[in-house]
Every structure is written in C-alpha cells, then in structure tokens.
Amino acid sequence: MNIIEALDAALPEIPERSARPSYPRLHPSVIHKEHVEQGIPTVLAKMPGADSYLRLTPEQWMLLELFNGQRSYAELSDLIREKSGVPFTEDDVKEFTAFLRDQTDLLYRTPLEKNITLKQKLGADRQRHKRRRFAFSDISNITLHRWPHADNYLTRLQPYVRFIYTPWFTGLTILCFIAMVGMWIGKFDEIWNDSFRFYNFREKTVRDLIEFWFLFGAMAFFHETAHGMTCKHFGGAVERMEFILMYFAPTFICDVTQIWILGERRARLWTVIAGIWVDLILCFFATLLWWTTAPGMWTHDFAYKVIMVTGIGVTLANLNPLIKLDGYYMFSEIIGEADLKERSTAYVSGWVKRHIFGLPVEIEYVPRRRRLFYIIYSTLSGVYSYGLIAVVVLFLYNVLRSYSSEYAWIPGLLIGLAFFRSRIRRFIRFMKDIYLDKKDRVRAWFTPARAVACSCVAAVVLFTPVLPDFVNGQFVLEPAQRAVIRAEVPGTVEQVLVAENQSVSAGTPLLRLRNLQLESEAAQINAKLREASARAVRAELRYSEFGRAERERVEQAEHNRVLQTELDRLQITSPIAGVVVTPRLQNLVGSYLQPGTQVAEVADMRTMRARIYIPEYGVRDVSVGTPVRLQMPGHLFPISANLDSIAPLSSDIDPAFAEKKQLSGIAPPPFYVGFVTLNSNGTLGEGASGNAKLFVRRRSLAAFMGRFGRDLFERRFW
C-alpha cells in the first residue's frame, strides 16, 4: 500500500447529500396483501424485482402508507397515533424508516439517491471481490442467464393454455394418470428400480451425460413454466426466470413470489403443485409413446428416458418436505407455517447455543405446542440436507477415484471444502463466539494446581493403552471341505439322481452310468467263475488235477472281483456329506464320460473357511490365535473368530479385490493368506466377501505416534 492509498483509507470520501431534507415516501409499485398466519394478522409487502418480501404488522403497514415524501417524522408520529392508537414516537418512526432504507426497496428513491447508493454498492463490491480474489465460488448454485422480462413470455403464452385450468381438463389428466399406471403394470418393479438407477452417473458415458444434461434441463423448463403460468392465472406476475447450474445439473428457476403476496392458500398450493402436475402429464405422453413403439426404436428409448426424468424418482424427490423443493412449500402451506426451515433451524440453533453452550443469545418465542415439532423437523431436515451434500461430494470423489485411486482425495477434498465452505465459516464464527465468551472465565479457572491436574489427565489420556489396533484385510469365504467327483470308469450317463443345492450324505448316489461292454464282460467272467468252481469241486472229489483247477478258479474269482468293482463304480456316490454345488447336472444325461472326467462338486457348507488377505506390513503384528472380526455386506453384526493359520509365503490377492492400476509406480503390497474356520450351519454362502479386522492389541495415542515415526525411520533411513 502506498501513501496515496493510505491517505484515501484514512480520509474516505464523504458521499453527496441533498441540501433539502428528504422525507420517506412509499414506492408506488409496492404490492401488498393482508394474511392471517398462525391466527395473527400479517401484511406481506414486496417491491417487484426484489429477491424477498417483508412481513409487517397492520400498524406498521398503516404507518408505511402515510409515507408520502412530504410529511415530517413528527407529523407521521402524530398521524399514526391518531389512526391506530399505537404510541409511535418520532424516534420510532426514524428507526423504522432507517430499517426500510437499509434493508428493503419499499421506499422511493430519487435518481440522485439511486446513483449514490449504486456507486457505494459497486465500490463495496469491488473491495469485497478484491479481498476474495482467490476464494472459491459457490458451485452449488451458478447462475448462467437471467430473463428479467419473463412475464411477457408467459403473457403471450397464457391465451393458448387457459384450458389447462378448467375442471374438465383436470379430470382428463387424472384419467391419464390412471391409464399411465395401468401401462406400467407388469413392469412396475423394473421402472421403479430404473428410476433411481438412471441417476447413477458412474455408469454413464460422455454421450449419456450430455444427453441427460439437455433432457433434464428441458424438463426443468416445462416444470418452472407451469409454476409461472399458474401464478399468472391466480393474478400474480412472474418477475424473472433464471437458468442455473445446481451442483452442475441444469435447471430453471421461476420467481413466483408474488403469489405468496397476492394469492390465497388455494392459489399458492396450486402454484406449487403445477410443476409436478406438468411433469406427470409429460410422463403420461412419454409412457404412451414407449408403450406403443417397438423395443429398439430410438423413439422407444427416448420416451423411456423421459419417463425416468419426469416419473417416480423426480416426483418423490420434489415431494420431499425436508428440502426447499415443491414438497416443502406444500407442507408449509398445509400446516400454515411460513419459512418453516428457517424458523425451526433458528429456534433449535438458538436453544443449543443458549442452554448447552451458555451463550447470551436471544431465542425467538415459539408456542409450546410447536417446540417439539420444530426440534424434530430441524433435526431431520439438517441431517437430510447435509447427507445429500455429502452424497454428492462422495459421488464426485468416487468418479475421480475411478481415474486415480491414489490422488483422488485431493480434488475430492477441494470439492468438499467448496460445498461446505459456508458451513465451515459458520462453525468457525461459532467457535470464535464461544472463545470470546468463555476465555476470561477459563483463564480465571486455570490456577496452577488445576493446570498441573489437567497436565496429569492429558498424560494419562496420551499414554493409557485404550485405543484398539487393528490390521485390516479383505476376505472371501470358501467351504472348509470340498470334494471334486470324477468318473472312474467310462460309461454313458443313464440317470442323474441329485440336483444343484441338494444336501447329500456320504455315500449318497449322484449319477448312474451304463457300460454294456463292461457289463457283458462281467457276465462272461461270472459264468467262467461258476464253471471253474465246478471243476475244482469235481477235481477235489476225484483227487485228480485239483491244483490246476483251484488255480484257475482263483484267477477267475479275482478277475470277477475286479470287474464287479468297476461295475460298482458305474454308480457315482458322494464321498462326503454336503451340498451339491455343480449347476445343471441333468444336462449330463445321455453323455459319454471318459475316466477322469469331472462330474460334480460337493461342498460341506456346515463349516466354512475365510481366506483373509493380510498385507505384508501387517503380518508382523498377527499370529495364530489372533482375534478376527469379519464384516459382510448385508449382515448387521460382524462374525468373531480366531486366526487358525497363516501361509508361510506371500501370494497375489484375489483379482476381485485388486484395484484398477493407474500408475506403474504404484504397486499393491504383497499379501499373506490367513485362514479362519467358521461354523456356518448353512447361513454363509460360498464366495461371500467383506472386510476383516484382526485385533492386535490396545495401544496408547503416544504409542501410535511413536510407532509411525519408528516405521518411517526403519523403512526409509535404516
């Protein structure tokens, strides 16, 4: 900063002032209407073009109507006291006027006053942008274009769509919705699942993303136009329309604030419902086109995508009252609670600051019957809103992670900071308030004795081994005992006696083979055995050539035993008890099997074995008997067991667990396989996988930090 800038900062320019005193004057374009909110008369007033409207009491509006630009503050004070009986002092009128001039556009400004205000505003904006030159922009809501005269477009369109608001058209659309549901029957589950799967952008190509971007933007245009047309139908005016990117998704915003000023509850509800109603009308025509065209036609596919954009998913999202979409405004109107989210959040936030953190804040009065409702709604809305933002951040992180698994956390962190920037700043301001409010009391509380006690407590926390140390790995389940059954003799499959997933015991027949040549040979040998046995008996009776006859009988008996064994092997049995895991066994009927051909597999599912892949750097901490917890998707509680054995040599990890390799310099660590035996009782399936935690011991916080430093030194410097 040079000397000129320093002098300019020290001696700021005094804005121009008019020589003649200026008294307040109500702008002639202000619109207003009296409403009853929660049994209290309230006047809603708005300057067309402004971003918000103002709530006034009937007495305040009566005072505002007296602002004609000629009456002094004293005259205004006297007049309002005569008309309303409320004792407005001259200072009260001045303070009310100052608030209106600073915070609203309800008061008329001369061209000179507008120029001075605009100059000051632009100067302040320049300084603010200069200070925030390197700050992130609000990427959750980016305005690309604004149409300040959107009401003219709707005025030209209104004569052509006036029939939409007739009773016969409303009845016709209800019949169309019923017909649409009828066309969905038979494929409702498919449409329901696709309505949410359609928004899984990780599976979309660049062409799909571009197509979705334009399709979603077009449907949003019709949705917001319906809001604007309904607002005009009930006497309001649309002040502007905007094309924005909300979390990079295209959408339109139609300003229908005037309907909240000029319309009754029925008009406001119909204005909110109009967007969803038009979505469902478009969905009906898309369903009709999809239902009548043949699969594979581009019109068929395009119509189905329109159903996804305007159907179940979008309708349910719009009807959600926890975020400020159509469902929120409908819910607010139904319960008669305007600004529900802001009021409930302000009440809960103020209550927490005052009663939990002891901050001197004022809490807006809320009737007792609504306090519990405010707490419940504010909590649910806050959790849902933050959860929605977190899902968006995690989704973008996962997309980036598919391109770079090691460094995706850097842009993911920046995106998260950009999304949560305002919340982080609010939290920092809150922590500053706590610090400024408590620092004197904390300093006074920290006497030398208490400081020593706190140091002892900190040392205990730092060195007490309370934190569990785990080695993390991944596992896959396999049967502890498995039998691969093969054909031992050639033959044709005559009959299959079991099916897939059938439980069998040891010795249960699985297949029966037929071998005519073997059976014929066995019959011949059996006949020769009978003849040899008869000759041996005759020789024994005659005491002649008995040795040769007996030797022949023994040879035929052994040959017959061998053939009978082969005949028995034509019936294939299970060597163990378990479950048949081979699919489509019936397809083997009539096929010829060579010896050694694999026929079936039987696995004992009563006892499963978990194959755990332990990274090389964690093997040093585990041993046989180490407690293990296995967490599988879909199981609420983990399975506890002990490590049975560890392979002595490293091996490659299962390809299902291997991450996509991005850079040649990033290689996965070696893995050692550990085994855990589990009693399944048929509840665990083969191939199930999940995360395993091997408990090492409990360590202190100091031990964790010391171990990290020691490993760093030993691995890189020793």
Q: Which residue has the higher pLDDT, 396 or 135?
A: 396
Q: Is the pLDDT of residue 340 over 50?
A: yes
The residues facing 592 across adjacent strands are 492
CA angle 539, 541, 546 (to 5 degrees): 30
- 297 pLDDT above the threshold of 60: yes
Q: How far is CA 326 from CA 77, 271, 335, 426, in A?
A: 43, 9, 15, 27
Specify burial of residue 692 (Cβ count, 10 A radius: 0-12, 13-18, 19+): buried
CATH 2.40.30.170 in the chain: give the residue spans: 469-476+604-716
Tens-digit pLDDT profile for residues 558-582: 877 877 877 778 888 888 888 888 8
Q: Does the pLDDT of residue 682 top 70, yes or no?
A: no
In this prediction, what percent of the chain has a pLDDT beyond 90? 1
> pLDDT at residue 497 above 90?
no
Q: In Å, how far are 472, 666, 696 from 622, measured between CA atoms?
A: 11, 26, 6
**Measured in whole angstroms, how far is the alpha carbon of residue 367 from the centre of its chain?**
35
**Helices 206-233, 265-292: crossing angle, 10 deg rounding:** 140
Q: What 3-state DSSP class applies to 68?
A: strand
- Angle between helical axes of 421-445 and 409-419 (0-180°, round to 10): 80
- Residue in 630, 598, 447, 381 with CA at minimum distance from that of residue 510: 598
Q: Grade residue 10 by pLDDT with cuts at 50, 70 and 90.
A: very low
- pLDDT band with cut points at 50, 70 and 90 for residue 186: confident
Residue where the block lists tokens 């009440």: 347
What is the Cα–Cα distance from 207 to 212, expressed in whole angstroms? 9
pLDDT value at residue 175: 93
Average pLDDT over residues 429-435: 84
Least confident of 58-67, 269-278, 455-464: 58-67
- Residue 717 pLDDT class (50, 70, 90 cuts): low
Place of tokens 């002098």: 7
Contacts for 618 with CB less than 8 Å, ≥ 6 apart: 471, 472, 473, 694
Average pLDDT of span 382-394: 80
Mean of the pLDDT values across residues 211-219? 82
Q: What is the pLDDT of residue 121?
A: 46
Specify the range with the lowest mean pLDDT, choosing from 24-28, 392-396, 569-573, 656-660.
656-660
Q: Where in the sequence of the chain do the CATH 3.90.930 domains occur?
A: 15-131
Q: How far apart, in Å, are the Cα atoms of 627 and each of 61, 355, 498, 631, 645?
A: 74, 44, 39, 13, 12
Stronger pLDDT, 7 or 601, i.e. the higher one: 601
CATH number corresponding to 469-476+604-716:
2.40.30.170
> What is the structure's pLDDT at 130?
42
**What pLDDT is stored for residue 202 in this prediction?**
59
**How confident is the model over 348-358, as a mean pLDDT?**
86
Residues in Cβ contact with 583 at an 8 Å cutoff, skipping those fewer than 6 apart: 500
* Interaxial angle between packed helices 516-542 and 546-568, expressed in degrees from 0 to 180 and rounded to the nearest 10: 160
Asked whether 624 and 469 are in contact (CB, 8 A), the reply is no
**pLDDT attached to residue 367:** 82
The predicted pLDDT at position 469 comes to 85
Query: How confident is the model at residue 403, as a pLDDT?
Result: 63
Range from 122-131, 407-416, 419-428 that averages highest in pLDDT: 419-428
Number of Cβ within 10 Å of residue 312's Cβ equals 18
* Cβ neighbours of residue 119 closer than 8 Å, sequence gap 6 or more: 15
pLDDT top residue among 124 and 175:
175
Residue 588 pLDDT exceeds 50: yes
Query: Is 80 exceeded by the pLDDT of residue 38?
Result: no
Whether 584 has a pLDDT exceeding 70, the answer reads yes
- In this structure, of 3-7, 29-33, 137-141, 628-632, the range with the lowest mean pLDDT score is 3-7
Q: Which two tokens stand for residue 329?
A: 């405004």
Cα separation, 43 vs 34, in Å, equals: 4
Q: What's residue 136's pLDDT?
A: 39
Q: How far is CA 193 from CA 92, 172, 188, 215, 477, in A?
A: 61, 28, 9, 20, 29
- Token pair in block for residue 419: 């999304």
Percent of the chain scoring above 70 in pLDDT: 84
Q: Which H helix or E strand runs over 246? A: strand 241-246
Q: Report d(CA 413, CA 365) in Å as an integer.
A: 40
Helices (H), 484-614: 516-542, 546-568
Q: Is 291 helix (H, G, I), strand (E, B) or coil?
A: helix
Torsion of the alpha carbons at 643, 649, 651 and 657, rounded to the nearest 10: 20
**H-helix segments, 420-515:** 421-445, 448-463
Distances in whole angstroms, Cα of residue 228 to Cα of each of 144, 236, 253, 535, 569: 20, 9, 10, 113, 83
- Which of 371-385, 403-417, 446-460 is predicted least confidently? 403-417
Show the CA angle centred on residue 336, arms to residues 334 and 338, nearest 5°: 110
- Candidates 645, 650, 653; CA nearest to 622 is 645
Higher pLDDT pick, 718 / 692: 692
Instruction: Band the pLDDT of 125: cuts 50, 70, 90.
Output: very low
Are 510 and 572 spatial neighbours (Cβ–Cβ below 8 Å)?
A: yes
Here the tokens at position 492 are: 């044709």
Rounded CA-CA distance 389/685 in Å is 36
Contact status, residue 455 vs residue 462, Cβ threshold 8 Å? no
CB atoms within 10 A of CB 454: 11
- Residue 170 to residues 164, 194, 446: CA-CA distances in angstroms? 7, 29, 72
Mean pLDDT computed over 440-449: 81
Write the CB contacts of 128 (distance below 8 Å, at least 6 apart in sequence). Answer: none
Q: Can you name the CATH fold of 15-131? A: Outer Surface Protein A; domain 3 (3.90.930)
Q: Please enumerate in sequence order all residues whose Cβ is within 8 A of that of 591, keeping only pairs 6 or more positions apart, or say none.
A: 492, 493
CA 681 to chain centre: 35
CA distance 243 to 216: 12
Fill in the DSSP letter of residue 588.
G
Per DSSP, what are the bridge partners of residue 37? 40
In tens, the pLDDT along 92-113 reads 778 888 887 777 777 777 655 5
Interval 650-659 mean pLDDT: 67
> Rounded to whole angstroms, how far apart are CA atoms 580 and 510?
9
Q: Which amino acid is at 490?
A: P
Q: Is 444 exposed, middle or buried (0-12, 13-18, 19+ CB in 10 A)?
A: exposed
Contact 680, 608 (CB under 8 A): yes
Task: Give the model's pLDDT for residue 401.
Answer: 65
* Average of per-residue pLDDT values in the chain: 78
Q: Are 232 and 158 in contact (CB under 8 A)?
A: yes
